[in-house]
Amino acid sequence: MTFDIEKLEQIPIDEVIKALGGDYKRHSHGKQFNMMCCNKAFHQHGDKKPSLTVWVDKNICKCHVCGIKGNPISVAKGMLGDFKEACKWLHETFSIPYANGCTPRPVAPKIVKSTPKPIEYLRFNKTKKFTKVKIGDWIDKYSELSKVQKLKMVYTFIYRFSLSTDRSKLLEYYKGRQIDKNPHLSKIGYLSVEDITLLLNKLSIFPTEDLIEFGIINDAKHKFPLSWKSPKNVGVIPSFSIYTDLIEGMMLRPIDDTNKWFKGKESRLSIPSILKPLPFGFGYKILQNTCDIYITEGHIDALSLPENYCFIASPGVNALEEEQLGLLGGKNIKLVFDQDEAGLKNALGYFEVSFLDQRMTILKSQKDDLEGMKNILESQGVDIKVTEHTGLKDRLLKAGAKSVEVIRWDKDLGKDVNDLLVNGNLSKVFKI
Ligand SMILES: [Zn+2]
């Protein structure tokens, strides 16, 4: 039998999210609303400030934190790991009939083992020189550039403009989080509402269709056509290219309540289908260096570390692309994630266990508990399904990292690195 893909894609996306473990914040909702994400392993406190936006008309969604997105099938695939598995789950959960009525199609009793495609790790070339690029030198040749180069030009133009604005409010914001005089602050730009108006004028040197394609302005069909797509009054946290000072994407961090819709959430400005950016901190300097590399959850934690530390500010706990991990070959890595279940799960890996109507997660480090539970359930004839999720530690080692340490500390000292800083406990965990 074949699944009715069209029907599966018409299942209301919010019901799919609910069935996968997400939830509504409020019950009355319109054409666009936020839900608590179903991808619980990657959210703290059950995603109480809902991160997942639902667009009812298009029947799609997007989580701004963990990146799960798309229509019912892609969301189910994101959670269950496999297209067929996703269709089967939707088909059963929502009782959607097969495509061609009930006529069974003979299925060959053959188990096809899928061989996962080997990861093509990116590697850092130590002998390659670092180049500084002047945008002015390229403006006249813009039309001859490749799409990737065009995107870098436009993003770099925005980023460099954001460094030239009045950044006093931004610095005040960081000061409020005890981040003061950190030399890396000079790399973070700022765009106020007024700056953005000015910037949009300046951006008119680039073709409008490119600005739309690169996610900077709304398309012509939008309720607010051709206007700035992202939040305003934001810190601009750059993603640099490895071998040049060009920008491949950025995170925009609202520093006040101007943006009702974005509610203080960081917003990503990048087009991964054109170019997958590396997180802030990941680049030539730390790769050329022999320093230990600290991977944090977000740039606030990275800027809270002792200022001479090498860091990578991963925007979400699973924001690093598998092939990008290869760049860290030969490096000593320290993972400094939040001292909560989500942080530990992502760092160490975990098992997702389902039986009867239950669904739970067990940390890799508690493998014995899993074995015990499995024995009991199996002896009672209960079917138990275990899915293994590899943690970042093991994935980094597989990619060639020399060593990976998961840094843990007493939660009472602070739940994350910024907390440690604010509470005056940084030196209890890190050598300063
Ligand atoms: Zn999510």
Domain ranges, ordered by start, for the chain: 5-93, 135-277, 285-403
pLDDT computed for residue 223 by the predictor? 84
Q: How many residues does the chain have?
A: 432
CA of 167 to the centre of ligand 1 (A): 31
CA of 180 to the centre of ligand 1 (A): 31
pLDDT computed for residue 264 by the predictor? 57
- Dihedral sign, Cα of residue 214, residue 220, residue 222, residue 228: positive
251: Cα separation from own chain's centroid = 10
CA of 42 to the centre of ligand 1 (A): 6
Provide the strand spans (E) within 22-64.
23-24, 32-36, 52-55, 60-63
CA of 53 to the centre of ligand 1 (A): 10
CA of 168 to the centre of ligand 1 (A): 32
pLDDT computed for residue 261 by the predictor? 63
CA of 44 to the centre of ligand 1 (A): 10
Place of tokens 């669904």: 359
CA of 62 to the centre of ligand 1 (A): 8
CA of 197 to the centre of ligand 1 (A): 31
CA atoms within 13 A on the CB side of 253: 17
List b or e across 234-253, with b for residues whose CB sees 16 or more CB atoms inside 10 angstroms. bbbbbbbbbebbbbbbbbbb
CA distance to 243, 358, 384, 391, per residue, from 371 (Å): 47, 17, 11, 19
Classify domain 5-93 at the CATH superfamily level: Zinc finger, CHC2-typedomain (3.90.580.10)
Identity of residue 149: Q
CA of 341 to the centre of ligand 1 (A): 15
CA of 166 to the centre of ligand 1 (A): 34
CA of 41 to the centre of ligand 1 (A): 9
pLDDT computed for residue 119 by the predictor? 83
CA of 335 to the centre of ligand 1 (A): 21
CA of 241 to the centre of ligand 1 (A): 27
CA of 34 to the centre of ligand 1 (A): 11
pLDDT computed for residue 113 by the predictor? 39
Say how far apart CA 373 and CA 223 lie, in whole Å. 53
pLDDT computed for residue 104 by the predictor? 37
Within the chain, how many helices (H) and strands (E) appear?
Answer: 15, 16
Say how far apart CA 318 and CA 41 lie, in whole Å. 10
Q: pTM of this prediction?
A: 0.72
CA of 11 to the centre of ligand 1 (A): 20
pLDDT computed for residue 390 by the predictor? 87
Q: What is the mean pLDDT of each run of 10 residues along the chain (432 residues)?
A: 88 91 77 87 74 92 86 90 88 83 42 56 95 92 95 98 97 95 95 97 96 94 89 95 96 84 75 91 95 95 96 84 94 94 86 83 84 87 84 94 95 95 95 81
Nearest to 390 by CA among 318, 313, 306, 293: 318
CA of 71 to the centre of ligand 1 (A): 14
CA of 38 to the centre of ligand 1 (A): 6
CA of 67 to the centre of ligand 1 (A): 6
Query: What is the CATH T-level fold of the domain 135-277, as seen in this structure?
Result: DNA primase DNAg catalytic core, N-terminal domain (3.90.980)
CA of 243 to the centre of ligand 1 (A): 32
Nearest to 278 by CA among 335, 239, 251, 323: 239
